[in-house]
Amino acid sequence: MDELKEKLYVTAINNLMKKNEFLLLCSDLDMKVINEEQFEEELTTNSGKYQIVLDQPFDKETFFAVNSIIDQLEFGDFNVSDIEELFSIKDKAMYKYMVENTNLN
């Protein structure tokens, strides 16, 4: 579990940095430091700098690791999309896991 948590921490930090870089680029566009064409070219040329890839599978071990990490954070109002983006969890994998593992009886 510690190895998985470390991987999730690193993923979260990398994704926050990518999001920050994207917001800085958007700010440059808004402040007219760059134009729309330059903005698009930068995103195309350096997509890895900005693009968050959702490729982490979500299983029981990941569920408990993510919950453990989230419980330690000051900002506790996360929705499923926030968590998926932060930890690069495959699109809808977390939701699917929760639905499949919730006892509705």
Q: Judge whether residue 103 has pLDDT over 80.
A: no
Q: Which residue has the higher pLDDT, 71 or 1?
A: 71
Alpha helices in 1-105 (DSSP H): 2-30, 36-45, 47-50, 60-71, 80-87, 93-100
Q: Judge whether residue 105 has pLDDT over 50.
A: no
Taking a C-beta distance cutoff of 8 angstroms, is the pair 70, 83 a contact? Answer: yes
pTM of the entire predicted model = 0.86
**Mean pLDDT within 76-81:** 84
85 Cβ contact list (under 8 Å, min separation 6):
15, 19, 52, 54
d(CA 50, CA 44): 10
Q: What is the mean pLDDT of the chain?
A: 93
